[in-house]
Amino acid sequence: MGRIKKKGTSGSAKNFITRTRAVKKLQISLPDFRRLCIFKGIYPREPRNKKKVSKSATPSTTFYYTKDIQYLFHEPLLNKFREHKSVAKKIGRALGRGEVGDASRLEKTLMPKITLDHIIKERYPTFVDALRDLDDALSMLFLFSNLPSTSAVPSKTIALCQRLCLEFEHYLIVSHSLRKSFLSIKGIYYQATIQGQDILWLVPYKFVQRVTGDIDFRIMGTFVEFYTTLLGFVNFRLYTSVGLVYPPKFSSSSDERGGELGAFTLEGRGVGPSQPAIEDSSAANSEKVQTITSSAAQAEADKIAALTAPEGETDDSAALVAGNEDENNDALDTFEVTAQDADILPQPQAGSAETSTLFASFTFYLSRETPRQPLEFLLKAFGCKRVGWDTVLGDGAFTNDESNPAITHQVVDRPALPLESLPALPDPSTSAQSTDGEVKPVALWPRATVPGRTYVQPQWVWDCINQAKLLRPDLYAPGATLPPHLSPWVKAKKGQYDPSIPLAEQEPEGEAEQFEDEEEIEAEGQDDEEMGSDAEKAVPKRNGKRNGMDALLDRSGEVEAGEGMDIAGTESDFSSEEEEEEVGEDWDGIHSEAASEIDEAEAARLQHQRELEAEAAGISVETLETNTPKSKAAEARKKAAKKRREEEEEKERLKMMLPQRKRKLFERMEYSNQKKDKEAELLRKKKRKVDKAKSVGRSSA
């Protein structure tokens, strides 16, 4: 007979442990346990059956893996936490005795310093692992860099987050690793590709943040402490990979004046004078990356170049290089759809070398109502050499003069207003003067525009980046209705509504005619209602009295309890009702006879008109009727309806041949597809109504 196992010593009861037992085993406080779990990446687990794990478990009980808790027993941070606790007790005793000097001395000398370097190396064995886990870190640090300084969020933490985020942005500018960006309600999304890894993070808008008391900043502060260490390691590795010295030089005076990116100066390792970050360009960056290399790597490259190739291969290699250059100059191939119902193939996009120099030949000026920080970052990340802005936006601009002739594009976010509503211009004598003593021409938007300069709204920058090409600036002119700003990560599937494609290309056959018919029916219904209301007003009231039902109907159908229901009708009431019915029948008959006479006269008039038109055109009446636009539309609708009916019949025949299980699965798929088609049809109807309203507005104007 086998040995009887004791309950709770094997299976899921052994694999899981409650948080209370884990804290007791580790002999630390609950806040330290939470902090340690965040650092080590250990999270609560949910067992399949809580009763099997623990009889006393409640819905709020938190479980962990037993192996994870055993893994924490050998963590060096446990000793740091215990030392911190003992020093805190000594400081408390000193303060209780009034020995403030001894307490400060104990805090400076005995308080242990916690470092997370070993945890970073342990959790991320390779650099690619750290890049994969960088999304949440960047989102958290960019969030804290925009928070105001409070007791829960000290200013040192905010300054550290700002510095690390700006250093990471400088690497993206130098390496041209940024790919896409999107303006959403939550903030601005950015996507970068670093060493083959796509990193997506969210940056909040520069609004005044109100910190509420229902947020536990202790837990968030623990995450920030870990993420700052992680991003510091990542920035060091990224900077050294392109030959830049880390950390870059930081100018506190420029940062106080709002320099942000311009407060940093990037320099190479042991080469030439340092170059300020605000003067980075695509050409300068490429030269800098080529010149800033280690001596060992350069020696290896010289050895490889010194190797002599065989004589027969030199000509072939030269021809191969020339052929490669010709291939690189060719345009990108496009995949065209051959069949009507075939899937849309993804088209090849422009390479990073082309998109990185998208704005290289332009000089931008940012008006003071535009968001300077994201625009400066995006423009420089895609090759813009010089970006200027107004002095109120901060330090580090290429120029603060809006009338500078080198400016090719100006980003504005307010329409052109009439000059009468604008304040007067400043005195020309107080404006900036040139070295010759002449007053510079001042061109301030929206009072005046500079000839040859392109004025666009900020969305133009984002849409050009997402589509990897320069779009038409007239569609983004100041005051113009902007095109839809779509997410670059959501691709419209077949059958769904795509606002970037013309409506005629994505609507099914016969849908536009059906929409026109519905509009005509609605218009006729409205005309009939108006005619009916006019007829009701024209009906005379007998003896100036109206019955109770008419009065109730005039109150929009609101009938109170007991109203018009409990009173029995007398003989006179019945007789009056019978008279009204007789009169109503007489009036109905007269109305129907008159209506029939009018219809016959109208039909005869229309027939005579058609005969005259056919005689003038020299064709028969039947040919004229078939060539009218309405008849053509009706014929198109009939063909579309016939085609749909045939397709449905064919689909039903195929369904009958399927087994019951597959038929039910097909019906569920068909139901979901029909639901999506109805949503797309509703969006297309809205689009048609908007287009029709715009066309009516243009015609009336």
Considering only residues 617 and 631, tell me which one the structure prediction assigns the higher pLDDT: 617
Quote the pLDDT of residue 570.
Answer: 44
Quote the pLDDT of residue 13.
Answer: 78
Looking at the domain assignment, is residue 424 inside a domain?
Answer: no
Considering only residues 492 and 544, tell me which one the structure prediction assigns the higher pLDDT: 492
Instruction: Write out pLDDT tens, residues 67-77.
Output: 999 999 989 99
Quote the pLDDT of residue 294.
Answer: 45
Asked which of 38-47, 109-118, 281-290, 421-430 is least confident by mean pLDDT, the reply is 281-290
Looking at the domain assignment, is residue 400 inside a domain?
Answer: yes
Residue 409 has pLDDT above 80, yes or no: yes
pLDDT-derived band at 553 (thresholds 50, 70, 90) equals very low
Residue 431 has pLDDT above 80, yes or no: no
pLDDT-derived band at 343 (thresholds 50, 70, 90) equals low
Question: The sheet that has 249-250: what strands, in order across it?
Answer: 249-250, 264-266, 275-276
Looking at the domain assignment, is residue 581 inside a domain?
Answer: no
Cβ atoms of 204 and 146 within 8 Å: the answer is: yes
If you ran DSSP here, which 8-state letter would residue 113 be given? P
Instruction: Write out pLDDT tens, residues 417-426.
Output: 776 666 666 5
Query: DSSP per residue over 67-103, as a string?
Result: HHHHHHTT-THHHHHHHHHHHHHHHHHHHHTT-HHHH
The reply to whether 628 and 654 lie within a common domain is yes
The reply to whether 277 and 374 lie within a common domain is no
Looking at the domain assignment, is residue 276 inside a domain?
Answer: yes
Nearest to 103 by CA among 114, 82, 89, 83: 89
Residue 182 has pLDDT above 80, yes or no: yes
Quote the pLDDT of residue 688.
Answer: 80
* Average pLDDT score over residue span 315-336: 46
The reply to whether 85 and 73 lie within a common domain is yes
Quote the pLDDT of residue 577.
Answer: 46
Query: DSSP per residue over 147-194, as a string?
Result: SPP-SSS-HHHHHHHHHHHHHHHHHHHHHT-EEEEEE-SS-EEEEEEE
What CA–CA distance (Å, rounded) separates 381 from 54? 56
pTM over the 0.75 mark: no
What CA–CA distance (Å, rounded) separates 199 from 179? 10
What CA–CA distance (Å, rounded) separates 211 from 160? 19
pLDDT-derived band at 557 (thresholds 50, 70, 90) equals very low
Q: Provide the token pair at 625.
A: 């009727």
Residue 181 has pLDDT above 90, yes or no: yes
Over the chain, what is the mean pLDDT? Answer: 76
Quote the pLDDT of residue 547.
Answer: 47
Identity of the residue numbered 77:
L
- For residue 279, CA distances in Å to 99, 275, 291, 386 come to 55, 7, 17, 7
Q: How many CB atoms lie within 10 A of CB 22?
A: 22
Residue 132 has pLDDT above 90, yes or no: yes
Instruction: Write out pLDDT tens, residues 569-590.
Output: 444 444 444 444 444 444 444 4
Quote the pLDDT of residue 273.
Answer: 47
Share of the chain above pLDDT 70, in %: 67
Domain end call among 57, 85, 109? 109
* Average pLDDT score over residue span 98-122: 90
Q: Provide the token pair at 78.
A: 């446990």
Domain end call among 248, 267, 294? 294
The reply to whether 134 and 178 lie within a common domain is yes
Cβ atoms of 228 and 165 within 8 Å: the answer is: no
- Residue 309 makes CB contacts below 8 A (sequence gap 6+) with 317
Instruction: Write out pLDDT tens, residues 370-408.
Output: 999 999 999 999 999 899 998 889 888 888 888 888 999
* Average pLDDT score over residue span 24-38: 93
Q: Provide the token pair at 84.
A: 């911190």
Considering only residues 119 and 419, tell me which one the structure prediction assigns the higher pLDDT: 119
The reply to whether 241 and 376 lie within a common domain is no
Instruction: Write out pLDDT tens, residues 230-259.
Output: 999 999 999 999 999 999 999 989 989 888
The reply to whether 457 and 514 lie within a common domain is no
* Average pLDDT score over residue span 502-519: 69
Looking at the domain assignment, is residue 219 inside a domain?
Answer: yes
The reply to whether 93 and 194 lie within a common domain is no
Taking each helix axis as running N to C, give the angle between helix 30-40 and helix 77-96, from 0 to 180 degrees, rounded to the nearest 10.
Answer: 150
Quote the pLDDT of residue 342.
Answer: 58
| Token pair 């008109």 in the structure block, residue | 609
The reply to whether 96 and 152 lie within a common domain is no
Looking at the domain assignment, is residue 560 inside a domain?
Answer: no
Looking at the domain assignment, is residue 459 inside a domain?
Answer: yes
- For residue 677, CA distances in Å to 468, 476, 670 come to 31, 32, 10
The reply to whether 124 and 102 lie within a common domain is no
What Rg value do the Cα atoms of the chain yield, rounded? 39
Domain of 235, in residue numbers: 117-294
Cβ atoms of 135 and 199 within 8 Å: the answer is: yes
The reply to whether 230 and 168 lie within a common domain is yes
Considering only residues 614 and 118, tell me which one the structure prediction assigns the higher pLDDT: 118
Count of domains for the chain? 4
CATH of the domain at 481: 3.40.50.10190
Cβ atoms of 215 and 150 within 8 Å: the answer is: no
| Token pair 């107004």 in the structure block, residue | 390
pLDDT-derived band at 136 (thresholds 50, 70, 90) equals very high
> 478-512 burial, b for 16+ CB within 10 Å, e for fewer?
beeeeeeebebeeeeeeeebbeeeeeeebbeebbb
If you ran DSSP here, which 8-state letter would residue 580 be given? H
Instruction: Write out pLDDT tens, residues 604-630.
Output: 777 777 777 777 777 776 665 565 655
What CA–CA distance (Å, rounded) separates 284 from 290? 10
Quote the pLDDT of residue 330.
Answer: 44
Instruction: Write out pLDDT tens, residues 468-505.
Output: 899 999 999 998 889 889 899 887 777 777 777 777 77
Strand partners, 198: 193
What is the four-CA torsion angle of 455, 460, 465, 467, rounded to 10 degrees? -120
The reply to whether 413 and 484 lie within a common domain is yes
What is the four-CA torsion angle of 71, 74, 75, 77, rounded to 10 degrees? 140
Quote the pLDDT of residue 292.
Answer: 39
Domain end call among 243, 262, 294? 294
Asked which of 81-85, 496-500, 650-654 is least confident by mean pLDDT, the reply is 496-500
What CA–CA distance (Å, rounded) separates 536 from 529? 10
Looking at the domain assignment, is residue 316 inside a domain?
Answer: no
The reply to whether 264 and 379 lie within a common domain is no
Asked which of 83-87, 195-199, 425-429, 505-509 is least confident by mean pLDDT, the reply is 425-429
Residue 438 has pLDDT above 60, yes or no: no
What CA–CA distance (Å, rounded) separates 263 from 258? 8
Considering only residues 675 and 433, tell me which one the structure prediction assigns the higher pLDDT: 675
Asked which of 167-181, 385-399, 502-516 is least confident by mean pLDDT, the reply is 502-516
Residue 347 has pLDDT above 70, yes or no: no
Quote the pLDDT of residue 280.
Answer: 42
Cβ atoms of 212 and 147 within 8 Å: the answer is: no
